[in-house]
Amino acid sequence: MNAPRRLPTIAPYELPGENELPVSRPEWTLDRDRAALLVHDMQAYFVDAFAPDAAPIEPAVAHIASLLEAARGAGVPVFYTAQNGDQDRRDRGLQADLWGPGMRHVPEHQAILPELAPAAGDIVLVKHRYSAFQRSNLDALMRARDRDQLIICGIYAHIGCALTAAEAFQRDIEPFMAADALADFSRSWHDAALAHAADCFAVVRSTRQIIEALT
C-alpha cells in the first residue's frame, strides 16, 4: 500500500497577469450589494508549503489583504475557512487517504496568517472537505444576507478554491475567482484551475478588477 500523500514543497512561480487570464464564459457582473468574500484556508500549515517572501504566496497574500480592505469598506460580508487540527480519522474521511492526518491542533498549524486575520463581524467557518459548502452553513449565511455572488481567494486554486466555486455554481451562487489572489502547487496547476473555472462555472478576474467593481 502506498504511503499517504503529504503537502508538496512548492517552488516559486509568478502569478498570472491580467493579460494572461482566460476568457470567462459566464457574463455575470460583480455587484457589491450581492457579493460576499471568501478567504480560503489561509492557515500556516498550508502556507508553509510555499517558499516564504516569494511569488506566488507573497503577492497573493498582499492581494488578499487588498480584497479584505475593499470588501470591508464596501460593506461586503467576509467569510473564512479554517480546518481544525488533530481531526478524528472517522471525521477526516477519505482526505486521510490522500493527505494523511493533516494539521495538528497547535497555533503554528491552525492559525490564519496574522496579516489576514479576521476582523470583528467576519465569520470563520470550520472546514471539513474541499468545498467550503460541505458540512457548513455558508449557503444559509449568504442567503440570510441576500448574497448570491461569492468572490474566492486563497489556497489551493485547483483543489478547495475551484471546488468551492463549482459548488457555488451548482447552488445558483455566482462565483468569481480572484486569479492573482490565489496560489497553487505550481503555475501549471494554477493556470489549469483558472481555465477550468472560466470555462465551466466561474468568472475569473484580477484583484484590481474585483476591487474596481466593489468600490
Domain CATH for 175: 3.40.50.850
For residue 157, what pLDDT band results from cuts at 50, 70 and 90?
Answer: very high
Specify if 23 maps to a domain. Answer: no
Is pLDDT larger for residue 190 or for residue 91?
190
* Residue 196 clears pLDDT 90, i.e. is over it: yes
Specify if 22 maps to a domain. Answer: no
pLDDT digits (tens, 9 = 90+) for 15-28: 999 999 999 999 99
CA distance 76 to 34: 8
Is pLDDT larger for residue 93 or for residue 43?
43
CA distance 79 to 84: 16
Mean pLDDT value across the chain? 92
- Host domain of residue 67: 32-214
How much is the pLDDT for 29? 98
Asked whether the beta carbons of 24 and 209 are under 8 A apart, the reply is no
What percent of the chain stands above pLDDT 90? 80
How much is the pLDDT for 85? 55
Is pLDDT larger for residue 86 or for residue 53?
53
Specify if 11 maps to a domain. Answer: no
* Residue 108 clears pLDDT 70, i.e. is over it: no
**The pTM is what?**
0.93
Catalytic residues: 41
CA distance 157 to 115: 20
Specify if 145 maps to a domain. Answer: yes
Specify if 27 maps to a domain. Answer: no
Closest CA to 45 of 188, 205, 158, 155: 155
Terminal Cα distance for the chain, rounded? 53
How much is the pLDDT for 4? 44
Span 120-141, mean pLDDT?
94
Asked whether the beta carbons of 167 and 135 are under 8 A apart, the reply is no
Asked whether the beta carbons of 16 and 190 are under 8 A apart, the reply is yes
The total number of structural domains that make up the chain: 1
Neighbours of 208 (CB within 10 A): 13
Asked whether the beta carbons of 30 and 73 are under 8 A apart, the reply is no
Span 55-59, mean pLDDT?
98
For residue 87, what pLDDT band results from cuts at 50, 70 and 90?
Answer: confident
CA distance 22 to 155: 19
Neighbours of 169 (CB within 10 A): 17
For residue 97, what pLDDT band results from cuts at 50, 70 and 90?
Answer: confident
- Strand (E) or helix (H) holding 124: strand 123-127
How much is the pLDDT for 132? 97
C-alpha cell at 92: 477526516
CA distance 94 to 24: 32
Question: For cell 487540527, what's the residue?
Answer: 85
C-alpha cell at 200: 465551466
Q: How far is CA 21 from CA 16, 40, 44, 83, 159, in A?
A: 7, 20, 28, 30, 19
* Residue 50 clears pLDDT 80, i.e. is over it: yes
Specify if 154 maps to a domain. Answer: yes
Specify if 158 maps to a domain. Answer: yes
Specify if 179 maps to a domain. Answer: yes
